[in-house]
Amino acid sequence: MKKISIFKVVSILMLLAGIAGAAQDKPNIVWIFSDDHTRQTIGAYGGRLQTLNPSPNLDRLASEGMRFDRCYVGNSICAPARATLLTGKHSHLNGKYDNRGPFNHDQQQFQKILQKNGYQTVMVGKIHLSGQMQGFDYWEALPGQGKYYDPDFVTEEGTKSYKGYTTDIITDKALDWLENKRDDSKPFMLMIHHKAPHRNWQPAERHMSKYEDIEIPEPDNLFDDYATRTTAAQKQDMNIVNTMRMDTDLKVTEGGGRINFNLEHYAARNAFLAENKLEGKELVKWKYQTYLKDYLRCTWGVDENIGRVLDTLEEMDLEDNTIVMYSSDQGFYMGEHGWFDKRFMYEESFSTPFIARWPGKIKPGSVNSDLVQNIDFAETFLDLAGAPIPDDMQGKSVVPLLKGDTPKDWRKSLYYHYYEYPAVHSVRRHEGVTGKRYKLIRFYGMDVPGGEEWEFYDLEKDPSEMNNSYNNPENAGKISEMKRELDRLKEYYKVDEPPPQKSRG
C-alpha cells in the first residue's frame, strides 16, 4: 500500500475546506446609487452643511465602513456615468458621450459576467439608457429621468405604473425582491438606483417642511465673478441668478410652464414672495435657501430609504456577508461658484461620493484618499465575485483599497472628458487631467484664436478653484509636465477624436 504523508492528507483536507468555503463565501453586493447627490450634502464628508445632520444613515455606513475622499467621474453627467458604471469604460469606448445618443446594450457589461458566474443580478430605478437592459435576472427602470411621484417603470413585460413617492417605491421593489423573490442558494448583486435628488428636487410629502425654519450656510463663492477663469466658466447657463427657474425649480406659481407638483405645499413660498419684492443679491440668497432646502429634503428621503435597506439586511441576517456600497452618478453645485448642476471638471461636480461597508474586511471608520474613478466600479464588482475581468475594461478593482492595502503602483492621475455641447446649460466641451494636487483643464471648440482655453489649479493652495493660474510663469514647468501626463493618459485610455459638435437637437 502506498504511503500518504500526514501533511499531504492535511493539505488536501484544507484545500477541500477552502473550496467549499469559497463557494459559500462569495459576498452579496448591494449597490445604492443616486442621481446628482453631492458630497457637500453628506455629513460624513464634513463641510459647511454638516451641522444640519443631513444624512444619518449614510454617516452610519461610513462609520461602519470606508469613505473615499478622492473618488471622481470620467464625464460628469447622468447617462454617460451610468454607461461607464456598467461597462467599466470611458465614454469614448462605450459610445455614450452625452445624454442624447443611444447606448449599445449588446456590448460587454459587468452584470452579464456576474450572471454567468453564478450571481443573481437585479437593477431597480434610474438607469437613463433607453432600450431593454441585458444581464439582469430582474430589472425595472424609470423611463429617462423618471418622475418624482406616481412613476412609470419600463420592464421586460412593458410599462407599469405605480402610486407613491419614487424613492420609496424603488426601495420597496428592491426589498420585495430581497425578501420574497431571491434564490437564497446564490449570491446576489442588487442595484438600487434612485432618481433623487435630480432637478427639480421634489421631496416626499412627509418631508415638505423639514429645514423650514433653518438658515442654510452659504458658500464663500456664491457671488463668484469668474474674474480669472476662462470664458467657459463665465458664459455657462447653470447659475442661480439667471438660469434657475422660478416655476419648475423653485415652485413659485408665476410663469406657469412645466409645473407637475402640488402647489398647496408651496403656498407659504408664494405668499412670502408676494409680500417681499426681493431683487438682486437678496433674491439670489432666497433662491439659494429655497433650492438647498428642496434638495436636502430629497436627499433626506434617499437617506431614510438607505436606512430601510441597512435594517432589512440586518433583520435577514445578511449583514455579515454583504458589501454595501453607495455612490452617485456625479457631484453637484450647491451654490458654489453661484451654480447648480454639474458637467464641469471642478471638484464639486467632478467628484462623487463613495462609501463602502463590508464587515470583517473593511476597517470601520476608515478613510481612503487614493485617486479612484467610476471606471473602477465594474471591475470592483467582478473582483468581489471572483469573476474574470475583461482586458478591455479600463479601471482597476478597488478591493485591495477596501482591505486597506493600496498597491504601490496605484494610479497617480485621472482623465476627464465632457462632451455635451451645444446643449442645455451651455457648458463647453473640455478634457483634463488631475493628480492629487494639480489639475489642468483644456476647453476646446472655443470662440478664441486657436479655439482652446486652459485652466490650471493648485488644489492645495486654491481648493475652491477660484484662481486660474495657467498664465502664472511660476507654473510653466508644472503645466508642461501636466500636458505630457494628459497626452500619456489619452494614449493609455485610447482616446479618439471626439464626435463633431452638432447643434442642439
- Which residue's CB is nearer to Ca ion, number 114 or number 345? 345
Tally of CA atoms within 13 A in the half-sphere of 169 that contains its CB:
23
What is the closest distance, in whole angstroms, from the C-beta atom of residue 99 to Ca ion in the complex? Answer: 9
User: What is d(CA 3, CA 90) in angstroms, rounded to the nearest whole number?
Assistant: 58
CA distance 425 to 154: 28
The conformation of residue 386, written as its DSSP 8-state character, comes to T
In terms of CB distance, is 127 or 495 closer to Ca ion?
Answer: 127
Cell numbers 452618478 correspond to: 329
Indicate the residue among 41 and 468 with the shorter CB distance to Ca ion.
41
Name the residue nearer to Ca ion (CB basis): 36 or 303.
36
Tell me the closest approach of the beta carbon of residue 130 to Ca ion, in angstroms. Answer: 16
Torsion, Cα of 446, 449, 450, 452 (10° steps): -40
CB 225 within 8 Å of CB 328 = no
| Shortest distance (Å) from residue 110 CB to Ca ion | 20
CA distance 455 to 482: 11
Cα–Cα distance for residue pair 195/198, rounded to 1 Å: 6
Q: For Ca ion, which is the closer residue by CB, 199 or 396? A: 199
Residue number of the CB closest to Ca ion reads 78
How far apart CA 440 and CA 453 sit, in angstroms, is 11
* Smallest distance, Ca ion to C-beta of residue 341, A: 9
Nearer to Ca ion, 197 or 219 (CB): 197
**Residue 44 cell numbers, joined:** 460624513
State the minimum distance, in angstroms, from the CB of residue 484 to Ca ion: 32
Q: Which residues pair with 239 in a beta bridge?
A: 339
d(CA 442, CA 423): 19
Give least dist CB 7 to Ca ion, A.
57
Closest to Ca ion by CB, 329 or 370 = 329
Q: Which is nearer to Ca ion, 349 or 434 (CB)?
A: 349
**Which helix or strand (DSSP H or E) is residue 158 part of?**
strand 158-161
Question: Which is closer to Ca ion, CB of 78 or CB of 204?
Answer: 78
- Report in angstroms how near the CB of residue 82 gets to Ca ion at its nearest: 9
Strand pairing report for 438-444 and 322-328: unpaired
For residue 309, the number of C-alpha atoms closer than 13 Å in the C-beta half-sphere is 34
Nearest CB to Ca ion, comparing residues 78 and 122: 78
Name the helix (H) or strand (E) containing 31. Answer: strand 28-34
Q: 147: Cβ–Cβ under 8 A, 6 or more apart, which residues?
A: 166, 195, 260
| Residue 331 falls in which region: left (phi positive, over 0), alpha (psi -120 to 50) or beta | beta
124 vs 402, beta carbon nearer Ca ion: 124
Q: Which stretch of DSSP H or E encloses residue 297?
A: helix 280-315
Q: Which residues pair with 30 in a beta bridge?
A: 190, 324
C-alpha torsion sign, points 452, 453, 457, 463: negative
Neighbours of 143 (CB within 10 A): 15
Which residue matches cell numbers 429655497? Answer: 290
35 vs 370 by CB, closer to Ca ion: 35
Strand partners of residue 439:
434, 457
The C-alpha R_g of the chain, in whole angstroms, comes to: 24
> Shortest gap between Cβ of 102 and Ca ion (angstroms)?
19
- Residue 20: Cβ within 10 Å count: 10
**Nearest distance in Å: CB 295, Ca ion:** 13
Query: Measured from the CB of residue 267, what is the shortest distance to Ca ion in angstroms?
Result: 30
Q: C-beta of 387: minimal distance to Ca ion in Å?
A: 28
Residue 77 C-beta: closest distance to Ca ion, Å: 6
What residue ranges bind Ca ion (CB under 5 A)?
35-36, 78, 329
